[in-house]
Structure 1
Amino acid sequence: MLGASNTAAETCAPDVSVAIVHDWCPAFRGGERVLSELCRLFPAVDVFTLFDFLPPDVKADHFANATFHTSPVNRLPKVEKFYRSLFFLCPFLIEQFDVTGHDVVISSSAAFARGVLTRPDQPHLCYVHSPIRYAWDEQFSYLAQGRLGFGPMGLLFRYLLHNLRTWDTRTAHGPDVMLANSTYVRARIRHIYGRDAEVVFPPVAVDEFDLVVDKDDYYVTASFLAPYKRTDLVIRAFGAMPHRRLVVVGEGQQSRTLRALAGPNVSFTGYLPRRDYIAMVAQARALVFAGCEDFGIALAEAQACGTPLIAFGRGGARDIVRPFGAADAPTGILFEHQTVAAIVEAVEHFEGNRRSMAPEACRQNALRFSADRFRREIREAFFRTLAIHGTGAPLASSPRMPR
């Protein structure tokens, strides 16, 4: 990996001073894997992020060349327990990062990072994980899950989200080049911001996964246990199929609620170390997912070890799954409705046709999402962003940020 990083750094103009702005780093999940790969493209980089809760060993493994800068709010006591509730402050806080002394800005944005203040002559490349989910079309789902109607608290949240939409729209045309992590996000960018974006799929660490052909008899669902992941639907579906076994991998704010829903055929592992997580997914008969992901790195990881997918057919799953009945060498089943009945039907359909979805085909499918491909496409977008400002070399007139 080190050799690949050095090659990437040479290709991406090592004399250019780069600031990477990322919303926040609560844990090393999909967004942070993207951030890690972005950092690998440069010999040294400044990372600006609102909140940073990454442990030292993760920093050493994935961000050895990065210097992290956080917002003042990151120093509040126990902020890791309530930082999400500070969303209404985040536009203001992201605008307080001074990146104007860098040659180039790269933002990795699922919410706020794109709105960082830049100079007019400063190249800005933005990788969009998603427009702000809870501020736009999914506002109503989030409010319903939080039981926020039209009482005083509900009205306050609706007003704060209205203000967030205004800010989000105003900052949408700041980046010179905008990349989307899936065709679904590209469509959302076009609908919300009126901009086109090139699709660059996130990096999947396919080399960490070995192909496993002999599968166990259990199904698995794996994610951060948040409401929008809809793990509740998967658990209820397996409650209607007591003869089939489900393993739920992950922790989150819904952990206690979901455990209360589960029958005796559903077990929970909680958070698993990386090696155990890979083994659990690799040996599963299929991974079942009922949420609408912007991309869904966990889905692509399952394919990398030869595990078929049974997934809701909206969002990034449509980029990942080669659906049975609609593609050669199929790698999974897509269901069209987020309902218990649709999941049950999809699982039974999979059982009747699972020998048509070969582990080898799943593995081959996942190779489309390799980290090498991601770095190559980001390098191309990086130089295209520089070219917009008439340079493919360091911007010598720009002052360097002190390290």
Structure 2
Amino acid sequence: MRIMIITDAWYPQVNGVVRSIVETVRELRLLGHQVAMVTPQGGEHDEGDGFLTLPCPTYPDIRLSLRPYRKTAARLAAFAPHAVHIATEGPLGMAARRWCRRRGQPFTTAYHTRFPEYIHARTRLPLAISYAWIRRFHNAAQAVMAPTPAIVADLKARGFHNVVLWSRGVDTTTFSPGERDRLDTAPPRFVYVGRVAVEKNIEAFLQLDLPGSKWVVGEGPQLAELQARYPAVHFAGVFPQAELARIYRAADVFVFPSRTDTFGLVLLEAMACGTPVAAYPVAGPLDVVGDSGGGVLHHDLKTACLQALALDRTHVRRVAEGFSWAAATLQFEAQLHARPVGEQEGMAFTAGGR
């Protein structure tokens, strides 16, 4: 089957959306599917034929494609996909949605990120306004893929249609137990890995009175502010996966203060390295960690951090081993809505309208 995936989130961004797409594309190809992509850089790789972009307001690391419809339509038409998956609600996603609706092409979408809550945290825009727009975007899809049962239920309660489950996995080869010598600060070492942005609620972690040392690993628009306000905290940048795994291993507890993530791949990465999680009992941690013994969820984050120190790292690793990208991709494949192959082959596609 020919599958086209459209995403506004792509390299050089390092986040859960990009990681999920990369791993899913790899697994789809192992299953024998032909997969093509539309990204801000052009295709899957930087082909020198990308889109003109501008930085997203309040988040310059994210690039928004300008006037992307014609080029997106041309690529979709040339590939003649059997199935279209729109991963993000940005300009490229909107262009692909428009193309599909003009032609009666079935498509699916993914709800990776709680954008309404993120927008509210930055601008105080009422949630009802942004959810109305996001709901309209997704309700045109044959299926809306959400990462956890809690998010599926939440979206259905908010009026989203055809919401289905698409879970996530972890690379248990790269992220695995091993030497714990990467961080040279006083133990116990409490570590956060992820985007450094207001919606991640990192200050809830940095304000805690904890023994040992604290680390924040990642980049984002709040980095300079937090560095200035918390000089005793150790800040590091973005690392390749192999080096990131060394950081997870060296941590005594992985602290996840976010209350708005839909899943949190970093939870699985930390646990795969044997590092227990401390987090709030909210969507994401509840589905990934729950009462598995892979971490401690508590409304008092300090309590969660201290109790997590006592968990058995071998058991934490076993919890992560229950998640695989192969299983998650079979779930993704089953949710795709494809035009029948014979009908698809017989259609003449153009970049313009009907």
Question: TM-score range with shorter-chain normalisation?
Answer: 0.7 to 0.9
TM-score by length of 1: 0.71
1:333 maps to 296
Identity of aligned residues (%): 19
1:221 deviates by: 1.0
**Relative contact order: is structure 1 or structure 2 higher (C-alpha 8 Å, sep ≥ 6)?**
2
2:327 maps to 373
Contact 1:311 1:317 (C-alpha < 8 Å) held by counterparts: yes
Matched, 1:133 2:102: no
| 2:254 pairs with one of 280, 283, 287 | 287
| 2:238 pairs with one of 265, 271, 293 | 271
2:137 maps to 171
Matched, 1:106 2:85: yes
Superimposed CA distance per residue, residues 9-52 of structure 1 (whole angstroms, 9 cap, x where no aligned partner): xxxx3xx3x32111232514221122223433246443223x34
2:7 maps to 22
| 1:193 pairs with one of 159, 173, 194 | 159
Contact 2:88 2:112 (C-alpha < 8 Å) held by counterparts: yes
Contact 1:321 1:331 (C-alpha < 8 Å) held by counterparts: yes
What amino acid does structure 2 have at the position aligned with 1:184?
Answer: A
What amino acid does structure 1 have at the position aligned with 2:167?
Answer: F
Contact 2:107 2:142 (C-alpha < 8 Å) held by counterparts: yes
2:280 maps to 312
Q: Distance in 1 between matches of 2:143 and 2:130?
A: 22
Superimposed CA distance per residue, residues 57-102 of structure 1 (whole angstroms, 9 cap, x where no aligned partner): xx9xxx46x979744x32xxxx357595799x87975697313543
Please state whether the residue corresponding to 1:368 is helix, strand or coil.
Answer: coil
2:304 maps to 346
1:378 deviates by: 1.8
What amino acid does structure 2 have at the position aligned with 1:205?
Answer: D
Q: Distance in 2 between matches of 1:86 and 1:301?
A: 23
Contact 1:114 1:174 (C-alpha < 8 Å) held by counterparts: no
1:296 deviates by: 0.4
Range 34-43 or range 93-102, more displaced = 93-102
Please state whether the residue corresponding to 2:141 is helix, strand or coil.
Answer: coil
- Which ranges of structure 2 fall in alignment gaps of 5 or more residues? 182-186
1:313 deviates by: 1.5
Superimposed CA distance per residue, residues 160-205 of structure 1 (whole angstroms, 9 cap, x where no aligned partner): x987655433333221122111223213321333324222112322
Contact 1:19 1:106 (C-alpha < 8 Å) held by counterparts: yes
Task: Please give the residue correspondences for 1:356-367 in structure 2 after superposition, counting only pairs within 5 Å.
Answer: 357-367=311-321
1:303 deviates by: 0.6
TM-score by length of 2: 0.79
Task: Note closer, same or farther for the CA distance 1:348–1:366 as it changes in structure 2 (3 Å cut).
Answer: closer
| 1:203 pairs with one of 161, 165, 169 | 169
CA RMSD of aligned residues (A): 3.5
Task: Note closer, same or farther for the CA distance 1:68–1:377 as it changes in structure 2 (3 Å cut).
Answer: farther
- Which ranges of structure 1 fall in alignment gaps of 5 or more residues? 1-12, 54-58, 145-157, 337-341
1:97 maps to 72
Task: Please give the residue correspondences for 1:22-171 in structure 2 after superposition, counting only pairs within 5 Å.
Answer: 22-25=7-10, 26-40=12-26, 41-42=28-29, 44-49=34-39, 51-52=40-41, 63=44, 70-71=50-51, 73-74=52-53, 79-80=54-55, 84=59, 93=68, 97-98=72-73, 99=76, 101-109=80-88, 115=94, 116-117=97-98, 118-119=100-101, 121-130=104-113, 133-134=115-116, 137=117, 139-143=119-123, 158=125, 166-171=132-137
Contact 1:45 1:67 (C-alpha < 8 Å) held by counterparts: no
| 2:200 pairs with one of 229, 244, 250 | 229
Range 371-380 or range 192-201, more displaced = 192-201
Please state whether the residue corresponding to 2:344 is helix, strand or coil.
Answer: coil
1:396 maps to 345
Task: Note closer, same or farther for the CA distance 1:124–1:91 as it changes in structure 2 (3 Å cut).
Answer: farther
Q: Distance in 1 between matches of 2:25 and 2:240?
A: 24
Please state whether the residue corresponding to 1:178 is helix, strand or coil.
Answer: strand
**Higher helix share goes to which structure?**
1
